[in-house]
Amino acid sequence: MICKDYLPAQMGTMSLDQIDPVAAGSVQSLTFVYTAGDFGIDDTGGLRVCWRTTSDMGKPQFSDPEALNYTTIEASNGAKLEYSVDRSGVRPWANSLTVRVGRGFLRKGETITIRMGDRRAGSPGIRLQTAVEHFQFKTLVDAFATNQYTELPLSPHIRLVPGEAVRWRASLPSQNILGESFRLCIAAEDIWGNPTAQGAQPIRLNASARVAGLPEDALPIGECGTLVVDGLKALKPGDLRIDVQTAGDERVLCTSTPARIVESAAFGHFWGDLHGQSGETIGTNPVRGYFLFGRDKAFLDVIGHQGNDFQITDGFWAELNALTAELYEPGRFVTFPGYEWSGNTGMGGDRNVFYRREGRPIHRSSRILVDDAADADCYTAGALFDTLAQAREDAVVIAHVGGRYADLGVAHDGRLERAVEIHSSWGTFEWLLHDAFDLGHRPGIVCHSDDHKGRQGATQPGASTFGAIGGLTCYLATELTRDGVFDALRARRQYGTTGTRLYMNVNGTFDAPVTIYADDPLLGATESRRDTRVLMGAVVAPNRTGLSLDVDVSGSAPIERIDIFHGKEVAETFRPYTAADLGRRIRVMWSGAEYRGRGRETSWTGKARLSGNRIEQVKPINFLNPQQPLSWSDGENIVSWKSVTTGNMAGFDVLVEDKAVGHLAIETNLASLDVDLASLGSDERVIEAGGLARRLRAWRLPEKGSAMSMRIRHRVEGRDLQADLPVYVRVTQEDGHQAWSSPIYLIP
């Protein structure tokens, strides 16, 4: 599609009957009327209605009048119309409803009527986008049948607002020094994850330990759907959680994330989401709202913006730099200027570039959607690293997996590229870390959202093929400043999660003093010291000295397991229960992706049938799309589902009447597994399902998870190392959330 700016005022008008705000994700019927302008539309000309690439609005369909998203289109003069929906629009308006006048033509004043969600034959309507936005239907006209479209001066839009509150989230700082004040941050959300005050009743707070300043009276939720209770002080060390309860019947709406109260600490725990895009590139909503959502509704400590470089104009780059400078507030809110180097995978793939200060250049991978004059472009990842290094830029680069994935074998510079992003809204990608190990790199681990919905720091997948909650990273920094966070990133002193805020502390203690490097010695001369204690991210030459790894975790939900990795392999697994604790709860999970590239999402259609026993209860795990719930009815012995994974996992727990008898037959479109319950324990039954780490698993759990905290010790015996031994931790909670520590690198 070629877009022209030719006499737009004479190309006609498009109107929309819906003028009142409607709930995001709701099902509506929308009637558009295009009125032809001075030129009409010639035979084989037409019009296009486009919406954003990343929108999850239902796809209009034309074949089933009684089904969701049914759409009809007709011309007032009876002209024959041909129409289709595809993704052929110009980024970021890729979704396109194209209407072609196949036989006949339109004169000035004649109309084309489009009914999205036409209810006249029984359709419930069309499901609108699930993220809040002033949603635009960009309209373009090909009046002369040249396949060159002119955008109308005014395109219809609809105001999408939050729906009713159905769930709550509350967060505490993951670590707090005894005697220092802290805050509790609360948000009510609608079914799609939009903060909302609609139907949000007053709440009360109930702490697990004494807290000075905790209000005793009922508290109203603010009109934005959030509430911040400040000036709190813990009165003793330990783990603190606060229940958010209804003011009337004291029903628990949610429990806060844990706070570890300590008497002293060298590093604070600060939560960040550095990776996402706003509406100026391919995302949703303006960039100022992007930053303010992260600060005021997701309650982030650290934030960055990563627009695709080939969509960032010089003007927008200047605006971004001005905005990060304006909103940077040391000690409260840290912003970083940056951009996403978005080269094709064959040229190196996606890299996030962050500067410590504003006013630095943007080196684009291309200018395919930018008209500014070329200056300092870098067409390959290698050229990007060389340019940043030669200019001695104070920058950090992170490799990630988005539409494109970072091919670490094409280019890498450890002086700049300090981490790999192994989870985002696009899925979970431990394979990217393992790629780095295979190549001899020594990165830290981060997880961010790569959010495109304007909800940085608290993103949900909605109804799209994004199959995961956006990730978060906890930076262990000396202070909440740019210098503090940059130093943490460069030292690999952080852990990442799939979006939850659990507390993790990983310490290594060697049997005798070892050589601990200030930086990776592969990168050049660096200082070293002799000591016995290290944190995550350290690079150590142990010289046959044994290591005791101490892991301290306080979860946001019961902990299911802790895995200790030696490189790519699990060396030891810790569970908070013994075989004697196993009960009537059976867990079934599926995971993995199609392949590494853009079409990695895997659709799972499955059914589990229990024979010789009875299902008493079913609990879904990571069923994140409300339109595709797990299917089970009380009294039935069959569970069925449709699910999407993109490297992450989903599944369910079944509680059976008798733990010792029966068979669970699990059938999916990709793999099947038959489980004899009498012999099933905590060891997983696994069937590989092809693709990229796709597998179907089943195992037994205790009937109730109660271990919110775990402290474990793993032993790494001294040995002669011939290659790097990266040692890191993966925590898995019962609710499906995971977390990863940055590795400690034991080197020859």
Q: Write down the mean pLDDT value for the chain.
A: 96
| Nearest CA-CA partner of 86 in 51, 121, 119 | 51
Residue 278, SS3? coil
Residue with tokens 């190309």: 11
Exposed, middle or buried: residue 477 (CB in 10 Å: 0-12, 13-18, 19+)? Answer: buried
500 pLDDT above the threshold of 90: yes
> What percent of the chain clears pLDDT 70, i.e. is strictly above it?
100
pTM for this entry: 0.95
| Nearest CA-CA partner of 193 in 425, 451, 460, 424 | 460
| Nearest CA-CA partner of 425 in 590, 272, 624, 284 | 624
The predicted pLDDT at position 2 comes to 66
Element housing 295 (H / E): helix 287-296
* pLDDT (tens digit per residue) in 146-200: 999 999 999 999 999 999 999 999 999 999 999 999 999 999 999 999 999 999 9
Pairwise pLDDT comparison (503 vs 464), residue with the higher score: 503
* pLDDT (tens digit per residue) in 247-274: 988 899 999 999 999 999 999 999 999 9
Question: Binning pLDDT at 50, 70 and 90, where does residue 3 land?
Answer: confident
Pairwise CA distance, residues 651 & 630, whole Å: 9
Question: What amino acid occupies position 281?
Answer: T
Residues 161, 163, 165, 169, CA torsion sign: negative
Copy the structure tokens of residue 56: 């999850």
Question: What amino acid occupies position 238?
Answer: G
Element housing 688 (H / E): strand 685-688
Question: Binning pLDDT at 50, 70 and 90, where does residue 465 land?
Answer: low
Copy the structure tokens of residue 545: 């000295």
The alpha carbons of the chain give a radius of gyration, in whole angstroms, of 27
**What CA–CA distances, in Å, run from 544 to 407, 515, 715?**
34, 11, 13
Copy the structure tokens of residue 610: 């229990």
Helix axes 314-327, 287-296, angle to 10 degrees: 20
- What letter would DSSP give residue 59? P
Pairwise CA distance, residues 344 & 411, whole Å: 13
The predicted pLDDT at position 7 comes to 95
The predicted pLDDT at position 331 comes to 97
The predicted pLDDT at position 267 comes to 97
Question: DSSP string of 155-202?
Answer: --EEEEE-----EEEEE--SEEETTS-EEEEEEEE-TTS-B--TT---
493 pLDDT above the threshold of 80: yes
The predicted pLDDT at position 322 comes to 98
| Nearest CA-CA partner of 384 in 432, 347, 422 | 347
Mean pLDDT of 520-532: 95
Pairwise pLDDT comparison (1 vs 251), residue with the higher score: 251
* pLDDT (tens digit per residue) in 393-447: 999 999 999 889 999 999 999 999 999 999 999 999 999 999 999 999 999 999 9
Pairwise CA distance, residues 63 & 321, whole Å: 49
Pairwise CA distance, residues 336 & 640, whole Å: 45
Pairwise CA distance, residues 349 & 420, whole Å: 13
Question: Binning pLDDT at 50, 70 and 90, where does residue 464 land?
Answer: confident
Pairwise CA distance, residues 478 & 535, whole Å: 14
| Nearest CA-CA partner of 533 in 509, 514, 550, 515 | 509
| Nearest CA-CA partner of 350 in 308, 387, 311, 390 | 308
CA 461 to chain centre: 7
Mean pLDDT of 334-341: 98
Q: Are 116 and 71 in contact (CB under 8 A)?
A: yes
**What CA–CA distances, in Å, run from 11 to 107, 156, 177, 485, 490?**
11, 15, 65, 52, 55
Pairwise CA distance, residues 521 & 489, whole Å: 17
Question: DSSP string of 599-618?
Answer: T--EEEEEEEEEESS-EEEE
Pairwise CA distance, residues 631 & 502, whole Å: 30
Q: Are 229 and 167 in contact (CB under 8 A)?
A: no
CA 87 to chain centre: 23
The predicted pLDDT at position 511 comes to 98
The predicted pLDDT at position 375 comes to 78
